[in-house]
Amino acid sequence: MAPPTSAAAVAAAARVAPTPAAALALFKSALSADPALSPLAVLPHLDAAPSLSNLLLTASAAARPHATSLRLYSRIKSLSIRISTASLHPLLSSLPSAPAFALFADIFRLRLPLCTITFNIMLRHLVSTGKPVRALELLRQMPRPNAVTYNTVIAGFCARGRIHTALEIMREMRERGGIAPNEYTYGTVISGWCKIGRVDEAAKVFDEMLTEGEVKPSAVMYNALIGGYCDQGNLEVALLYRDKMMEKGVAMTIVTYNLLVHALFMDGRGTEAYALVEEMSEKGLVPDAFTYNILINGHCKEGNVKKALELFEAMARKGVRATVVTYTSLIYALSKKGRVQEADRLFDEAVRTGLRPDLVLYNALINSHCCSGGIDRGFEIMGEMEKKRIAPDDVTYNTLMRGLCLLGRVDEARKLIDEMTKRGIQPDLVSYNTLISGYSMKGDVKDALRIRDEMMDKGFNPTLMTYNALIQGLCKTGQGDEAENLMKEMVGNGITPDDSTYISLIEGLTTEEERAIEDERLPPADAARA
Burial of residue 375, with CB atoms counted within 10 A of its CB: 0-12 exposed, 13-18 middle, 19 or more buried: buried
Q: Residue-wise over 311-324: b if at least 16 C-beta within 10 A, else e?
A: bbeebeeeebebbb
Helix or strand or coil: residue 262?
helix
Which of 207, 236, 243, 241 lies closest to 224, judged by CA? 241
- One-letter amino acid at 388 equals K
d(CA 348, CA 39) in angstroms, rounded, equals 45
Which of 295, 375, 303, 307 lies closest to 336, judged by CA? 303
d(CA 165, CA 158) in angstroms, rounded, equals 8
d(CA 451, CA 411) in angstroms, rounded, equals 12
Q: Are 36 and 49 in contact (CB under 8 A)?
A: no
d(CA 79, CA 56) in angstroms, rounded, equals 15
DSSP 82: P
d(CA 349, CA 8) in angstroms, rounded, equals 51
Cα separations (Å) of 523 from 157, 511, 512? 83, 20, 19
Q: Which residues contact 96 (CB under 8 A, 6 or more apart)?
A: 66
Q: Please give the backbone phi and psi of residue 475, each rounded to the nearest 5 degrees, phi first.
A: -65, -40
d(CA 238, CA 225) in angstroms, rounded, equals 7
d(CA 248, CA 254) in angstroms, rounded, equals 18
Which pLDDT does position 479 carry in this prediction?
A: 83
CA 288 from centroid of its chain's CA atoms: 17
Q: How many C-beta neighbours within 10 Å does residue 477 have?
A: 16
Helical spans, DSSP H, in 129-162: 132-141, 147-159
pLDDT tens for the chain, residues 1 to 530: 566 678 999 999 999 999 999 999 999 999 999 989 999 999 999 988 899 999 999 999 999 999 999 999 999 999 999 999 999 999 999 999 999 999 999 998 999 999 999 999 999 999 999 999 999 999 999 999 999 999 999 999 999 999 999 999 999 999 988 999 999 999 999 999 999 999 999 999 999 999 998 899 999 999 999 999 999 999 999 999 999 999 999 999 999 999 999 999 888 888 899 899 999 989 999 889 999 999 999 889 888 899 999 999 999 998 999 999 999 999 999 999 999 999 999 999 999 999 999 999 999 999 999 999 999 999 999 999 999 999 999 999 999 999 999 999 999 999 999 899 999 999 999 999 999 999 998 889 899 999 999 999 989 999 999 988 998 888 888 888 888 888 888 899 899 888 888 887 777 666 555 555 555 555 554 544 44
d(CA 140, CA 151) in angstroms, rounded, equals 14
Helix or strand or coil: residue 425?
coil
Q: How many C-alpha atoms does 292 have within 13 Å on its Cβ side?
A: 25
Q: How many C-beta neighbours within 10 Å does residue 178 have?
A: 7
d(CA 176, CA 143) in angstroms, rounded, equals 12
Cα separations (Å) of 38 from 7, 31, 66, 336? 8, 8, 13, 58
Concatenating the DSSP letter of every residue in 83-119 gives PPHHHHHHHHHHS-HHHHHHHHHHHHHTTPPP-HHHH
Q: Residue-wise over 247-267: b if at least 16 C-beta within 10 A, else e?
A: eeebebbbbbbbbbbbbbbbe
Q: Are 208 and 179 in contact (CB under 8 A)?
A: no
Burial of residue 297, with CB atoms counted within 10 A of its CB: 0-12 exposed, 13-18 middle, 19 or more buried: buried
Q: Please give the backbone phi and psi of residue 320, each rounded to the nearest 5 degrees, phi first.
A: -90, 120
d(CA 364, CA 483) in angstroms, rounded, equals 35
Q: Which residues contact 231 (CB under 8 A, 6 or more apart)?
A: 194, 197, 199
Q: How many C-alpha atoms does 350 have within 13 Å on its Cβ side?
A: 25
Q: Please state the pTM of the whole predicted model.
A: 0.77
Which of 316, 369, 378 lies closest to 341, judged by CA? 369
Which pLDDT does position 509 carry in this prediction?
A: 62
Q: How many C-alpha atoms does 351 have within 13 Å on its Cβ side?
A: 11
Which pLDDT does position 339 carry in this prediction?
A: 93
Burial of residue 284, with CB atoms counted within 10 A of its CB: 0-12 exposed, 13-18 middle, 19 or more buried: exposed
Helix or strand or coil: residue 16?
coil
